[in-house]
Amino acid sequence: DAKTTQPTSMDCAEGRAANLPCNHSTISGNEYVYWYRQIHSQGPQYIIHGLKNNETNEMASLIITEDRKSSTLILPHATLRDTAVYYCIVRVAGYGGATNKLIFGTGTLLAVQP
Protein backbone atom coordinates (compact mmCIF):
# COMPACT_ATOMS: atom_id res chain seq x y z
CA ASP A 1 0.00 0.00 0.00
CA ALA A 2 1.16 3.52 -0.76
CA LYS A 3 2.51 5.73 2.02
CA THR A 4 0.72 8.92 3.05
CA THR A 5 2.06 12.17 4.47
CA GLN A 6 -0.05 14.48 6.65
CA PRO A 7 0.73 17.56 8.73
CA THR A 8 1.18 16.79 12.39
CA SER A 9 -1.38 19.30 13.58
CA MET A 10 -3.78 22.01 12.41
CA ASP A 11 -6.06 24.57 13.99
CA CYS A 12 -9.47 25.66 12.78
CA ALA A 13 -11.97 28.20 14.10
CA GLU A 14 -15.36 26.86 15.11
CA GLY A 15 -17.91 27.30 12.32
CA ARG A 16 -15.27 27.59 9.61
CA ALA A 17 -14.33 24.92 7.09
CA ALA A 18 -11.48 22.63 8.08
CA ASN A 19 -9.30 21.52 5.16
CA LEU A 20 -7.02 18.61 5.95
CA PRO A 21 -4.41 17.76 3.30
CA CYS A 22 -2.88 14.39 2.54
CA ASN A 23 -0.06 13.56 0.17
CA HIS A 24 0.02 10.10 -1.45
CA SER A 25 2.34 10.62 -4.38
CA THR A 26 3.05 6.89 -4.87
CA ILE A 27 -0.60 5.85 -5.06
CA SER A 28 -1.44 3.14 -7.58
CA GLY A 29 -4.38 3.09 -9.93
CA ASN A 30 -6.24 0.50 -7.88
CA GLU A 31 -5.79 2.17 -4.50
CA TYR A 32 -8.54 4.06 -2.71
CA VAL A 33 -8.08 6.98 -0.32
CA TYR A 34 -9.79 6.49 3.04
CA TRP A 35 -10.25 8.91 5.92
CA TYR A 36 -10.84 7.92 9.54
CA ARG A 37 -10.79 9.99 12.69
CA GLN A 38 -10.13 9.18 16.33
CA ILE A 39 -11.69 11.32 19.02
CA HIS A 40 -9.84 11.35 22.31
CA SER A 41 -8.55 7.74 22.27
CA GLN A 42 -11.88 6.26 21.27
CA GLY A 43 -12.00 3.69 18.48
CA PRO A 44 -11.39 5.17 15.02
CA GLN A 45 -14.46 6.23 13.07
CA TYR A 46 -14.87 5.97 9.31
CA ILE A 47 -15.48 9.29 7.53
CA ILE A 48 -15.29 8.86 3.76
CA HIS A 49 -13.39 7.22 0.93
CA GLY A 50 -12.86 7.73 -2.80
CA LEU A 51 -10.95 6.58 -5.86
CA LYS A 52 -10.89 9.34 -8.48
CA ASN A 53 -13.93 11.52 -8.20
CA ASN A 54 -14.75 13.92 -5.44
CA GLU A 55 -17.03 12.44 -2.80
CA THR A 56 -19.43 13.96 -0.29
CA ASN A 57 -21.46 12.52 2.54
CA GLU A 58 -23.17 13.86 5.63
CA MET A 59 -19.89 14.22 7.49
CA ALA A 60 -17.41 15.58 4.98
CA SER A 61 -16.22 16.07 1.42
CA LEU A 62 -13.19 14.46 -0.17
CA ILE A 63 -11.36 16.24 -2.98
CA ILE A 64 -8.84 14.14 -4.91
CA THR A 65 -6.51 15.85 -7.38
CA GLU A 66 -6.63 14.79 -10.99
CA ASP A 67 -3.26 13.05 -10.79
CA ARG A 68 -4.43 11.40 -7.53
CA LYS A 69 -1.17 12.28 -5.78
CA SER A 70 -2.91 14.24 -3.05
CA SER A 71 -6.31 14.78 -1.48
CA THR A 72 -8.09 17.09 0.93
CA LEU A 73 -10.71 16.23 3.50
CA ILE A 74 -13.12 19.08 4.09
CA LEU A 75 -15.29 19.45 7.18
CA PRO A 76 -17.61 22.26 6.01
CA HIS A 77 -18.55 23.74 9.39
CA ALA A 78 -16.19 22.51 12.07
CA THR A 79 -17.47 22.20 15.64
CA LEU A 80 -15.62 21.59 18.89
CA ARG A 81 -16.69 17.94 18.64
CA ASP A 82 -14.62 17.61 15.46
CA THR A 83 -11.41 17.96 17.46
CA ALA A 84 -9.68 14.65 16.75
CA VAL A 85 -6.79 12.92 15.02
CA TYR A 86 -7.57 12.44 11.33
CA TYR A 87 -5.97 9.58 9.45
CA CYS A 88 -5.55 9.43 5.69
CA ILE A 89 -5.06 5.83 4.50
CA VAL A 90 -4.44 4.43 1.06
CA ARG A 91 -5.71 0.94 0.50
CA VAL A 92 -5.79 -1.49 -2.36
CA ALA A 93 -9.19 -1.89 -3.94
CA GLY A 94 -10.67 -5.27 -4.63
CA TYR A 95 -12.31 -8.16 -2.92
CA GLY A 96 -10.96 -10.46 -0.30
CA GLY A 97 -9.94 -10.09 3.29
CA ALA A 98 -6.33 -9.17 2.74
CA THR A 99 -7.34 -5.97 1.02
CA ASN A 100 -9.22 -4.87 4.13
CA LYS A 101 -6.05 -4.24 6.09
CA LEU A 102 -5.79 -0.64 7.23
CA ILE A 103 -2.28 0.71 7.76
CA PHE A 104 -2.40 3.78 9.98
CA GLY A 105 0.15 6.58 10.09
CA THR A 106 0.29 9.18 12.86
CA GLY A 107 -2.42 11.38 11.34
CA THR A 108 -3.23 15.08 11.79
CA LEU A 109 -4.43 16.43 15.11
CA LEU A 110 -7.17 18.92 14.28
CA ALA A 111 -7.89 21.35 17.09
CA VAL A 112 -11.12 23.30 16.62
CA GLN A 113 -10.93 26.56 18.55
CA PRO A 114 -13.98 28.38 19.98
Partner 1 sequence: NAGVTQTPKFQVLKTGQSMTLQCAQDMNHEYMSWYRQDPGMGLRLIHYSVGAGITDQGEVPNGYNVSRSTTEDFPLRLLSAAPSQTSVYFCASSWGSRGNTEAFFGQGTRLTVV
Amino acid identity, position 17: A
Q: Which residues contact partner 1 (rule: CB under 8 A)?
A: 32, 36, 41-46, 49, 87, 91, 93-107
CB-based contact 89:73 (threshold 8 Å): no
CB nearer to partner 1: give 42 or 53: 42
Count of Cβ atoms closer than 10 Å to residue 110 Cβ:
21
Q: How far is CA 86 from CA 2, 7, 98, in A?
A: 17, 10, 23
CB nearer to partner 1: give 13 or 100: 100
CB nearer to partner 1: give 60 or 87: 87
Least CB distance from residue 57 to partner 1, whole Å? 11
Least CB distance from residue 15 to partner 1, whole Å? 27
